[in-house]
């Protein structure tokens, strides 16, 4: 039986007719459940239960990531995790959840802009080599060297020659990273065109998030097919046995985050 607070709230609202198990009631009576249940005037039990279950799973996996980082520090392991995907695919949100509780002195989030004039004259990978982790540290790449595989050619930030040179070198580059005793995980967050448009609209409506939309983002819907063409080539030609792509269906942000975190925990032998 729900406690008095929940019971009163249920009576005050016309809630959907769903069967609640004892476990469901325990979740609703928990601190997380009460906070979720009372944060809005209209009750949605299914949504509340889904939110609470997600938060519980998220906290469990965040605790495991703390253990993973401790293992990496103690054993001087280097970890690189790449997040690729279309604009508004949820890469940044996933990184924020993963890094929420780990020691900030031993990880770094890297999100580079397009190459500067000086960097244009360097070997393309040099700017990324300088960002690779030292022993005991983790680097999250919010977009990576794969900018040159998709974003740059689509938006004409690089020449065809530069693109082809990158594609001919990237697999060997990653092989060298792994050979240097580094764990390399590559995520591609995949969303539909409709979901991207919905997220763009939500960002435009928010005074707190509007800054996230760049000039490149504004053109993303019109260039959808071009992005798709280059994305397919990237995934086909750079999916190797030693550095495979992990493609995550990311229309549901919560599920995508949990999947990515679970993959990391199951891939790196920290236990």
Distance of alpha carbon 235 from alpha carbon 77, whole angstroms:
27
What is the pLDDT at residue 132?
98
**Does pTM surpass 0.85?**
yes
pLDDT bin (cut points 50, 70, 90) of residue 116 is confident
What is the pLDDT at residue 41?
63
Distance of alpha carbon 199 from alpha carbon 256, whole angstroms:
15
- Domain map of the chain by residue range? 1-10+20-65, 76-267
Residue 184 backbone zone (phi > 0: left; psi -120 to 50: alpha; other: beta): beta
What is the pLDDT at residue 11?
42
Average pLDDT over residues 151-167: 96
Contact 69, 102 (CB under 8 A): yes
In the chain the beta strands, taken as DSSP E runs, fall at 78-85, 107-110, 138-142, 182-190, 245-249
Average pLDDT over residues 212-230: 95
Q: What's the number of CA atoms in the CB half-sphere (13 Å) around residue 114? A: 15
Q: What is the pLDDT of residues 225-260, one digit of tens each?
A: 999 999 999 999 999 999 999 999 999 999 999 999
Residue 171 has pLDDT above 50, yes or no: yes
* CATH of 76-267 among 3.30.360.10, 3.40.50.720, 3.40.50.300, 3.40.1190.20: 3.40.50.300
Name the token pair of 219: 């053109």
Strand partners for 81: 140, 185
Average pLDDT over residues 138-154: 97
Distance of alpha carbon 262 from alpha carbon 216, whole angstroms:
31
Q: What is the pLDDT of residues 24-73, one digit of tens each?
A: 666 766 777 667 666 666 767 777 788 889 999 999 999 999 999 999 99
What is the pLDDT at residue 54?
94
What is the pLDDT at residue 107?
98
Name the token pair of 50: 């889904």
Of 142, 260, 254, 250, the closest CA to residue 196 belongs to 250
Strand partners for 188: 84, 247
């Amino acid at each position: 039986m729900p406690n008095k607070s929940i019971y009163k709230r249920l009576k005050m609202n016309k809630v959907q007719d769903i069967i609640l198990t004892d476990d469901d009631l325990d979740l609703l009576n928990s601190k997380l459940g009460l906070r979720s249940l009372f944060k809005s005037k209209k009750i949605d039990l299914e949504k509340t239960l889904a939110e609470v279950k997600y938060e519980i799973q998220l906290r469990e996996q965040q605790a495991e990531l703390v253990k993973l980082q401790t293992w990496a520090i103690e054993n001087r392991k280097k970890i690189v995790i790449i997040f690729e995907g279309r604009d508004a695919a949820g890469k940044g949100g996933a990184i924020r959840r993963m890094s929420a509780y780990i020691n900030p002195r031993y990880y770094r989030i890297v999100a580079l802009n397009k190459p500067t004039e000086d960097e244009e004259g360097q070997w393309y990978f040099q700017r990324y080599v300088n960002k690779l982790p030292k022993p005991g540290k983790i680097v999250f790449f919010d977009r990576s060297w794969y900018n040159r595989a998709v974003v740059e050619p689509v938006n004409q930030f690089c020449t065809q020659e530069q693109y082809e040179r990158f594609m001919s070198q990237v697999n060997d580059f990653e092989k060298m990273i792994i050979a240097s005793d580094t764990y390399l995980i590559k995520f591609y967050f995949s969303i539909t065109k409709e979901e991207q448009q919905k997220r763009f609209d939500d960002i435009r409506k928010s005074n707190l998030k509007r800054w996230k939309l760049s000039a490149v983002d504004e053109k993303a819907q019109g260039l959808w097919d071009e992005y798709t063409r280059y994305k397919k080539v990237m995934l086909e030609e750079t999916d190797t046995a030693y550095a495979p792509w992990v493609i995550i269906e990311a229309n549901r942000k919560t599920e995508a985050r949990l999947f990515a975190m679970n993959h990391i925990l199951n891939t790196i032998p920290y236990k």
